[in-house]
Amino acid sequence: MNIEHAVIGGWLIPFIRIMQSCDIDIQEALAACDIDMHELSDQESRITLAKLIKLLNYASERAPGHDLRVRLAENFHPSMLHVLGYAMMSAETLKDSLDYIVRYRRIVSSLCNVRLNEVPGGVEFSIRPVRIEQRIVPGLGLREAEVFIASLVKFARDLVQSDLTPLCVFLEAEAPEQQPDALQAFFNCEVHYGHPYNALIFREEHATRKLFTHNGLIARNHEIMLDEFLSRVDKNDLVNLVRCKIYDYLPGSTPAQGDVAEVLGMSLRNLQRRLSEQGTSYKEILENTRKKLALNYLEQPHLSLGEIGYLVGFASVTNFNRAFKRWTGLTPGDFRDNQPVARLN
């Protein structure tokens, strides 16, 4: 099977900035790497990883004395990741920001196996190889993974603490022969080379600290946009397609499973079967979607409980209270009164 690994076109933005600063002819560089100029203007465009690797090598050869891995990381901005970047900025904590990448990894890359795990002393974000048809396919090239890891450190320094240092970094690449290494100096922490996968561990105090850009309402709206974007990027993700159709029906009404199946061009029985094969059901998706929306709305003090119930599809406050207590063990009013202690993620 021929697999064309593609990444979001926003990664071209820091390349352009760096090539400009290094007096590299941009049009010649893009042409040499078979990249069309329109891929710069379309924020939803995808570019093959092979072309991005070629561009990194091309620029590196023409910018001697510069470590472009560090330069690219220093030029990282969340907007490069389309709406995903803005969702990351509006998340409550750094850990929540990283979780967005995990949940919406298909937006970042067509072959991206990223994980977020709690480890002693912190939170580990890892990029692991993908297994496809008994083959191991790297999630990213060695240098590209280093750029991505370094970019997350830049993001954390911008939104958490300017002098933030990771607990440690693990890289698949072998240790560089030439010292000092600019990348290790950038991380300013212990770096372990020759690891089975690339990973970054943030200290717990940094991972759980509230971001000063946090906005629950904006985060919720971004999640809706992300789900819609993902449905365009990956039309095979049935769970996300169903979730997007539920968004279309809300507020004010509860979408029936048969209506969603019809909109998706499927029979009710086929929808039920395919969701079952993915280990879920329409009822579970609906419940999780309404619960998540309700939790986010409850962060907005200007919204009454009746308004929130309507926004998530309940005809009465009584029905909303009953469902919310089933989800959380608390009534909406008690939950709001006990924030942030009672907040559920």
At which residue do the structure tokens 């499973």 appear?
257
- This prediction has a pTM of 0.69
CA distance 101 to 7: 13
CA distance 275 to 213: 36
CA distance 94 to 77: 15
Task: Give the dihedral sign, CA 307/308/309/315.
Answer: positive
Q: How is the beta sheet containing 168-170 ordered, strand by strand? A: 113-119, 122-128, 198-203, 168-170, 190-192
pLDDT tens figures, 103-161 = 888 777 766 688 999 999 999 999 886 654 545 555 566 778 888 899 999 999 999 99
CA distance 129 to 39: 27
What pLDDT shows up at residue 342? 37
* DSSP per-residue codes, 271-296: HHHHHHHTT--HHHHHHHHHHHHHHH
CA distance 324 to 344: 12
| Residue 126, SS3 per DSSP | strand
What pLDDT shows up at residue 234? 63
Which residue, among 143, 138, 93, 136, has the nearest Cα to 118 in the 3D structure?
Answer: 93
pLDDT tens figures, 159-203 = 999 999 999 999 988 888 776 688 889 999 999 999 988 999 999
Cβ 100 vs Cβ 70: under 8 Å: no
* DSSP per-residue codes, 300-317: -TTS-HHHHHHHTT-SSH
CB-based contacts of 279, cutoff 8 Å, min separation 6: none
CB-based contacts of 168, cutoff 8 Å, min separation 6: 189, 190, 191, 192, 201
What pLDDT shows up at residue 315? 83
CB-based contacts of 129, cutoff 8 Å, min separation 6: 113, 136, 137, 138, 139, 197
Instruction: Say what angle helices 282-297 and 268-277 make with each other, to 10 degrees.
Output: 80
210 DSSP 8-state letter: B
Query: DSSP alpha helices (H): ranges in the chain?
Result: 12-21, 26-32, 38-41, 49-61, 68-74, 83-90, 94-103, 105-108, 142-159, 182-187, 204-207, 216-233, 238-249, 257-263, 268-277, 282-297, 305-311, 317-328, 332-337
Residue 278 sits at φ, ψ, to 5 deg, of -95, 10
Q: Name which residue leads in pLDDT, 306 or 113.
A: 306
pLDDT tens figures, 255-305 = 889 988 888 888 898 889 888 887 889 999 999 888 888 888 888 788 888
pLDDT tens figures, 19-69 = 888 899 988 998 898 887 665 566 567 777 778 888 888 888 888 878 888
The neighbour count for residue 253, using CB atoms within 10 Å, is 12
